[in-house]
Amino acid sequence: MTSTAPIAAANASGTTRSSPSPFGVYLHVPFCRHRCDYCAFAAWDDRGELMGRYMRALQREVAGVAAAQPVPATSVFVGGGTPSLVDADALVEVIRTITLADDAEVTVEVNPEDASEELFTTYRDGGVNRISFGVQSMVQPVLDALGRRHDPNLVATAVDAARNVGISSINLDVIYGAAGETVEQWTRTLTEVVGLNPDHVSAYALTVEPGTALAADPVRHPDDDDQAAKYLVSEEILTSAAMPWYEISNWSREGHQCRHNQLYWVQGDYFGAGCSAHSHHAGRRWWNLRTPERYMDAVESGRPPEAGDERLDDEQRRIEALQLAVRTSAGVPVDALERAASTGEIDGLVERVGDRFVLTVAGRLLANEVALRLE
């Protein structure tokens, strides 16, 4: 197989080496026990029999590209789907195919019901140092409204299991805006999450994606004003817990910002392996075949699993860079919003910090409006 992207070199022992610049690897695992009502990702809950074959194809894709263009990875992110569903040893073997830069961040998404010290020991020994738990809510009726099926009481046990084996960074994902969720219930979720002493929290507004069960049920669609109120609660509780924001939906303790996601936000280079996975290198983006069957057939036959690509010109890349940066606490250069600031269009939505404009809390609620005024 061939690719125009750099990737970590194949190395069965999972050795590490220094890297001159950030480079990420994303591994997609498309299997789930149950598809959540809001999920539009490439994930299936009826193809568990393909897991073994899929993991072999995933390792073959990574190793094939790695052998051609070796670059150490500064971050690896295993997402899905539900990565914790597949055999842990098989997943670790794929990770070990990647040569990691010194102090690389290696994240695996885990559902609370899959957690155990045995699982996390295997992950740890395979180089994993960050776990991202799909919590979504600590209130059972809210989980039911989202189409989630885990018991919220499992979350604390899951976090303890990861801590007990020495996983050094813990993220908890939560979602606000489910049908019937009150501000009090959202406050309870955040309070209980903070009580677990995570290093990082991602708090996302529920969005309606075409083709999902949620999209087909307008009665359950979220309300903008309700979500705005809950965002303000999120900012207050998480910042008070010594986790300041660094991107609109992300808060963390110092030194625990997700380096892999930061790579996306600065238009860095990354390689995505697995069905539907996306990659980027030097302004070119491409993505793999969406279904696991077509993906595996391509890899097994020695064909690149690429399904399509796009190239951004210099101006498109410049504007996109600003649109991404404005969502972060780093903000954008003053001249990118100078005209809008001079006319008062963004009064109260940004504040000047040195030579940059950074979104205020109110600005984060209207980030898209601010982004439209970038130049």
pLDDT at 301: 97
The answer to whether the CB of 92 falls within 8 A of the CB of 123 is: yes
Q: Tens of pLDDT along 287-325? A: 999 999 999 999 999 999 999 999 999 999 999 999 999
What is the pLDDT, as a whole number, of residue 21? 85
Percent of the chain with pLDDT over 90: 86
User: For every residue of 11-77, which 3-state class applies, written as one string?
Assistant: CCCCCEECCCCCEEEEEEECECCCCCCCCCCCCECCCHHHHHHHHHHHHHHHHHHHHHCECCEEEEE
- Whether omega for the bond prior to residue 81 falls within 30 degrees of 0, making it cis, is yes
What the block records as the tokens of 8 is 């970590």
- For residue range 12-24, list pLDDT tens digits in order: 334 444 445 899 9
What pLDDT score was predicted for residue 240?
98
Residue found by looking up tokens 């094939």 in the block: 64
pLDDT score at 42: 86
E strand or H helix at 262: helix 259-265
- The pLDDT of residue 67 is above 80: no
Fold equal for 16-265 and 315-371: no
Instruction: For the full predicted model, state whether its pTM sits above 0.95.
Output: no
CATH 3.90.550 at 315-371, yes or no: no
Under the banding of pLDDT at 50, 70 and 90, the label for residue 68 is low
Please say if the pLDDT value at position 6 is more than 70. Answer: no
**pLDDT greater than 50 at residue 1:** no
Query: What is d(CA 195, CA 220) in angstroms, rounded to the nearest whole number?
Result: 29
Quick: pLDDT tens for 216-275: 999 999 999 999 999 999 999 999 999 999 999 999 999 999 999 999 999 999 999 999
Name the CATH topology of 16-265. Answer: TIM Barrel (3.20.20)
The 10s digit of each residue's pLDDT in 25-50 is 999 999 999 888 898 888 888 999 99
Computed over every residue of the chain, the mean pLDDT equals 92
pLDDT at 363: 98
Q: Domain boundaries in the chain?
A: 16-265, 315-371
- Residue-level pLDDT at 7: 45
Alpha helices (H) in 85-146, listed in sequence order: 88-95, 117-125, 140-146
- What is residue 18's predicted lDDT score, i.e. its pLDDT? 47
Please give the pLDDT value at position 12: 33
Predicted confidence at residue 266, as pLDDT, reads 95
